[in-house]
Copies of this chain bind each other. A is one copy, B any other.
Amino acid sequence: MASDAPDACCQLALDPAVREDARRRLASVRGHVDGIIRMLEREDVYCVDVLKQVKAVEGALAKVGEGVLRSHLRNHVVSARERGDADVIVAELMEVLKYR
């Protein structure tokens, strides 16, 4: 059900409030990544300090994913049978949940 799929009309769009929250969180992720890039410009940067910061960014990204997933389950997955697209919805969800 990629957004370019013909029948992916606005009813399967990400909830506006969740979209804004994700956008805000990702703006902060970007700032955090900038911080690590600056850190890496120092010759004496210690490996574990970098690993800790990368892990913190991973945590922030997981929060973004969590919010979008919850919204998708609540707004689209629970009504997939009524809409008739349950197979596609389940298949793409299983794909995106692999190694999560």
A interface list, Cβ under 8 A from B:
1-3, 8-10, 12-14, 16, 19-20, 22-23, 26-27, 29-30, 33-34, 36-37, 40-52, 54-55, 57-58, 61-62, 64-66, 68-82, 86-87, 89-90, 92-94, 96-100
Q: How far is the CA of A100 from the CA of B54 in the complex (A)?
A: 11
A11: nearest chain-B partner, CB-CB: B44
A88: nearest chain-B partner, CB-CB: B48
Q: Which residues of B contact A30 (CB under 8 A)?
A: 30, 33-34, 37
Partner of A61, one of B57, B86, B92: B57
Partner of A10, one of B14, B44, B51: B44
Q: How far is the CA of A64 from the CA of B71 in the complex (A)?
A: 26
Q: How far is the CA of A80 from the CA of B74 in the complex (A)?
A: 9
Q: How far is the CA of A69 from the CA of B76 in the complex (A)?
A: 17
Taking each of A16, A19, A40, A100, which has the highest tally of chain B beta carbons within 10 Å of its own beta carbon?
A40
Q: Which residues of B contact A66 (CB under 8 A)?
A: 94, 98
